[in-house]
Chains A and B, each alone.
Chain A
Amino acid sequence: MRAPEPTSGPGGGGGEADLDWLLDRVARGDQAAFETVYDRMAGPVFGLICKVVRDPAQSEEVAQEVLLEVWRSASRFDRSKGNAQTWVMVIAHRRAVDRVRSASAAAHRDQKSAGAVGAASIDEVADEVEASLDRERVRRCLETLTDLQRESVTLAYYGGYTYREVAGLLSVALGTIKTRIRDGLIRMRDCMGVTW
């Protein structure tokens, strides 16, 4: 197993403390602070939603909902429960998943085959790594997982599938998928030096 990468601090750098602070400002109605939060978070939010929702027009709608939700509920951000970036991404992922699981969207969803979706997700990650060190680290850490761990994690997170659906797609027992997702994520966490 690879040694964890050195990190500059919990959460991976000084930028995140700033985001925590900015959200406090946003909670008090500071629109300039919100612009900065937008500039910092719109990329990750939109990228993740595209990954889950696929359809660009719908992804844009969901991204708008999420970013507006950040403005609206900034006062609910509780830094004792995690950092601001994670708070935003949790909202983004939940909204994206809600969208794909809603009945109307489900009808349009491509659920052709499990293998295809999983493989595509991983390849896309690989394609998108290029410049960023973060991306590179994620890619390398994903490589340290077993195939089943990696497929389970990426299908659940990037694919937006429930673990029951993942089990169905991969034809693996429920209990196995449950533990593979957890083990895989824990390995990712340790590999990336997440220090919670």
Chain B
Amino acid sequence: MKLLRRDDLHTLTGAYALDAVDGAERDRFEHHLHRCQPCTHEVRGLHETATRLAVAVARQPPPALRERVLTAAAMTRQMPPVTDVGALPQSRHRRRRRVPRLAVAVVAAGMAVVIALGITVAVTRRQLDDARAQQQAVAAVLNSPDATILTHRTSLGGTVTVVVSHSERKVIFTAAGLPSLPHSKVYQLWLLGPPGTRSAGLLPLPTGGRTVPQLASGLARGDSVGVTVEPAGGSPQPTTKPIVDVLVFS
């Protein structure tokens, strides 16, 4: 029987999706869920299935409820976006991380807005999908347990903000207040480090003074994130001195 424990846990997906598991057993299953991608996927599908069951019994509430809820909402403060980077007890880093966590929350809020704006102006299905994929990737970095945030000034003015996750090997990059460039020039983002200098793409034109978050993957130990000014279209390798160089993985 003991050998079957993992399978037993897995078959709880259905009951769990219907909130039919409680107490310690639910805790155990949720713990398992965090490490079991197929279970997470299955629960998601079963939750959506349950939603259809709910919609099938829809029933209009008394009209007075609408007014009560809307009035209460107008007087209720909303929660900030969650960026709880997990309850992993890494006491060594805990002190150091408290401030960055808060900062990540603030940046995350800003990024969510930027991304949401990006989505509202997207016209094609393809762009929507891209925007969603981008948002998911950004969320994964923001939610990773080791997300840390760094902000640096550039030599041209303005600031860059980088959220780094070593475990995801990714960085999210945004810039604010960079001077605008002539049409013949662009800002290009780089990962600079022992594996070589790799382009992480051209910075999109800022909207409202801020660039859309740019995601760079394949972070390696010793890497910095840098920005250079390049001819329109970008360069295979930097041709000018970086205006900012942030060590992100020491």
Indicate which residue in A64, A75, A175, A196 contacts B72 across the interface (CB closer than 8 Å): A64
What residues of B have a CB within 8 angstroms of the CB of A93 in the complex?
A: 18-19, 50, 54
Q: How far is the CB of B153 from chain A (nearest CB, A)?
A: 29
Whether B17 is near chain A, meaning CB under 8 Å from some CB there, is yes
A101 vs B19: C-alpha distance when bound (angstroms)? 11
Whether A115 is near chain B, meaning CB under 8 Å from some CB there, is no
Chain A residues near B68 (CB, 8 Å)?
A: 64
CA distance A165 to B35 in the complex (A): 28
A154-190 interface bits toward B, Cβ cutoff 8 Å, 1 = contact, 0 = none: 0011101111001000000001011101111110110
Which residues from 70 to 124 on chain B have a C-beta closer than 8 Å to any C-beta of chain A?
A: 70, 72-74, 76-82, 109, 112-113, 116, 119-120
- Option from A42, A47, A186, A188 in Cβ contact (under 8 Å) with B66: A42
Contact mask for chain A residues 111-146; partner B; CB cutoff 8 A; 1 contact, 0 none: 000000000000011001100101101110000000
Which of B15, B55, B132, B136 is A156 in contact with, Cβ under 8 Å?
Answer: B15
Kindly state whether residue B161 has any CB partner on chain A within 8 Å. no
A166 to B48, CA, bound (A): 22
CB of B156 within 8 Å of the partner chain:
no
CA distance A19 to B59 in the complex (A): 19
Cβ of B21 within 8 Å of any chain A Cβ, yes or no, is: yes
A-contact bits for B18-31, CB 8 A (1 contact / 0 none): 11111000000000
Contact of B20 with A21 in the complex, beta carbons under 8 Å? no
Chain A residue at smallest Cβ distance from B109: A75
Complex-state Cα separation, A86 to B61, whole angstroms: 19
Cross-chain contact of B48 among A44, A79, A86 (Cβ < 8 A): A86
B181 interface residue per 8 A CB criterion: no
Q: How far is the CA of A44 from the CA of B58 in the complex (A)?
A: 4
A4 in contact (CB, < 8 A) = no
Closest to A48 in B: B54
Q: Residue B60 contacts which of A46, A72, A75 (CB distance < 8 angstroms)? A: A46
Q: Which of A24, A86, A162, A178 is close to B14, meaning CB atoms less than 8 Å apart?
A: A178
- Verify A192–B49 contact, CB threshold 8 A: yes
Q: What residues of A have a CB within 8 angstroms of the CB of B49 in the complex?
A: 185, 188-189, 192, 194
A interface size (C-beta, 8 A)? 82
Is residue A8 contacting chain B, with contact meaning CB distance below 8 A?
A: no
Asked if B3 lies at the interface with its beta carbon under 8 angstroms from chain A, I say no
Q: Do B19 and A94 touch across chains, with their CB atoms under 8 A apart?
A: yes
Complex CA gap A138/B48 in Å reads: 13
> By the criterion CB–CB under 8 Å, are B113 and A181 in contact?
no
Chain A positions 67-98 with a Cβ under 8 Å from a chain B Cβ: 67-68, 71-76, 78-83, 85-86, 89-90, 92-94, 97
Q: Please, which residues of chain B bring their CB within 8 A of the CB of A160? A: 19
CB-CB contacts below 8 Å: B31-66 with A? 41, 44-62, 65-66
A19 to B82, CA, bound (A): 20
The interface residues of chain B lying within 8 Å CB-to-CB of A179 are: 11, 14
Instruction: Tell me if B12 is interfacial: C-beta within 8 Å of chain A.
Output: yes
Query: Can you pick out 29 interface pairs between chain A and chain B where the beta carbons lie within 8 Å of each other?
Result: A11-B48, A28-B116, A29-B78, A31-B74, A43-B61, A44-B51, A44-B57, A47-B54, A64-B72, A75-B81, A75-B109, A78-B139, A80-B140, A83-B48, A85-B55, A86-B48, A86-B51, A134-B56, A156-B15, A161-B20, A163-B15, A163-B20, A163-B21, A181-B14, A182-B13, A182-B46, A185-B17, A192-B52, A196-B48
Q: A-contacting residues of B (Cβ < 8 Å)?
A: 8, 11-15, 17-22, 41, 44-62, 65-66, 68-70, 72-74, 76-82, 109, 112-113, 116, 119-120, 128, 132, 135-136, 139-140
User: Top 3 closest A-B pairs, CB basis?
Assistant: A182-B14, A196-B45, A47-B59
